[in-house]
Amino acid sequence: MKLEGKVAVVTGGAMGNGKGIVDVFLKYGAKVIILDYSDNLRDIIAEYREKQLPVGAYKVDIRDKKLIFSCINDIVKRFGKIDILVNNAGVAKLVPFVDMTDEVRDFHFDVNIKGTWNVTQAVVPHMKNQKYGKIVNLSSVTGPMVADAGEVAYATTKAALIGFTKGLAMEVVKDGITVNAICPGYIMTPMVEGIAKDTNAQNPEEVVKGIAAGIPMGRLGTIEELGELAAFLASDESSYITGTSVVIDGASTLPETMSVGV
């Protein structure tokens, strides 16, 4: 199995894309440690342990830099190394730009950018010492490629992660560390379900169907499909790939016009 013997840290791994990544990593033989602030974390870990799967967890806010460094150091003491880091944790709140408070803006910046920065800065020295590492950052098609109204803060942070990925990749390439980004389109996650409810609280399922109708593949992606891409970028199969971003969106950003019919 391509991740056999690897130790992986996945932020935001208790639900959505993060859980898809954790499940696929486990399938390929990795030991996984989840960093998450969700109240669901305890129940998720109990499910994994009931199946005797090698998953550990720390309930931690990635905005807390001091605590993050403490957790990462503890992981290295327990497992001897960290081979893979997936920066998946992120937030999204739809608010018109003129109505957005500084608090909501900073919430996006502090979690999506600074949180990713904190965890990565804690992990990279250990990867440099072992001359090996795989870092995968969850960006989005929103920001680098497309955007909708209300997404200014979210789009800004996700675009910033592309620059973060490229800059860091150049700094650590000679240390045997690769850094890549994934740009998902619509994946069926609690975040998408929340957006659907915000858009139409009475019939969110119709909102999801409307989203799917605008995707050439005719459906949203699954968290397992995203997990497979993350596993590829986290494995030695991607050994000659660094500083790049990979879109996984069912061709939603491909059409030149609004119509996707053929």
Catalytic residue, candidates 28, 58, 154, 186: 154
Q: How far is CA 69 from the centre of its chain?
A: 19
Confirm if 155 and 45 have CB atoms less than 8 A apart. Answer: no
What residues form DSSP beta bridges with 138?
182
Residue 174's nearest CA partner among 242, 257, 99 is 242
Confirm if 188 and 20 have CB atoms less than 8 A apart. Answer: no
**Pairing relationship of beta strands 133-138 and 245-248 according to DSSP bridges:** unpaired
d(CA 198, CA 193): 9
* 154 included as an active-site residue: yes
Q: By CB neighbour count within 10 A (0-12 exposed, 13-18 middle, 19+ buried), where does 21 fall? A: buried
What residues form DSSP beta bridges with 71?
none
Q: By CB neighbour count within 10 A (0-12 exposed, 13-18 middle, 19+ buried), where does 121 fall? A: middle
- By annotation, the residues acting in catalysis are 154
